[in-house]
Structure 1
């Protein structure tokens, strides 16, 4: 993967809040400090981007844009393929147990009567009761 191109602000050593005279002064300093043709070319390109208001806005948008999600996900899960989720000795769970769990959940959903009026009613098995709360010590 190619390295990311440096920001025009980084090339000239300024912040996004720099005024046009500050951009020009930073360009002069960076050009004087440049040692080779590639450095001078990078300084000139950065200055041309930041001098033009439309290009500067584009540089600001790209600077703070979210990274590409496919690249980010690929980097985040890079080592997952090498890891095993189950030990080698453990057999995989039978698919019938998963299907039975799903059938029982579905059957339980269909046993509850649908709401009769137009307002939404929470099924009885999902209503909150005090027995689901953890015990709380009340200071005296």
Structure 2
């Protein structure tokens, strides 16, 4: 990976779908536009990564891999432990603010007829219809 921690694709200004001739052309273009020694080294390192099939696959895996969940969670909750959630002198939130179930949904659940016999019946408002299917383009 280049010293600037940028993706080799970003350094050369190409997409992951670029062919080897496109990678070479992008490398030549990036070298011509590079201002300093560090930029030229970044271009060369990116080109060497993308020219080699194994290194290119490794760069693709590193770039598009999911982030580490432990690190992501640690960053997301970094300041949570610093401040207390509820202080003794803070008033409790109102109960109405804590209710998330809508009255209409609750009423609709109770208006459904109970299941008959010993089989489970799916409420009619949850039965699948054609409206839940995504649109599909049919090739001609």
Q: Output the TM-score relative to the length of structure 1.
A: 0.61
Give deviations 1:11-66, integer Å, cap 9, x for gaps: 00000000000000000010000000000000000000000000000001111111
| More off after superposition, 73-82 vs 14-23 | 73-82
8 Å contact from structure 2 (residues 27, 47) kept in 1:
yes
Equivalent residue, structure 2, for 1:87: 87
The answer to whether the 8 Å contact 2:4/2:42 transfers is no
Cα shift at 1:4: 7.5
- Please show how residues 1-140 of structure 1 align to structure 2 within 5 Å: 5-89=5-89, 133-135=109-111
Mark the runs of 5 or more structure 1 residues left unpaired by the alignment.
Answer: 91-130
Q: Which runs of structure 1 show a deviation greater than 2 angstroms over 4 or more consecutive aligned residues?
A: 131-136
Structure-2 separation of matches of 1:70 and 1:35: 39
Cα 1:133–1:75 shift into 2, 3 Å: same
Q: Which has the larger radius of gyration?
A: 1
CA-based RMSD: 2.6
Normalising by structure 2, we get a TM-score of: 0.61
Larger relative contact order (CA 8 Å, sep ≥ 6): 2
Q: Is the 8 A contact 2:14 2:26 kept in 1?
A: yes
The change in CA–CA distance for 1:33 and 1:62 in structure 2 (over 3 A counts) is same
- Report the CA distance between 1:78 and its aligned residue: 1.5
Assess, with a 3 A threshold, how the Cα gap between structure 1 residues 24 and 4 changes in structure 2: closer, same or farther: closer
Deviation at 1:83, TM superposition (A): 2.9
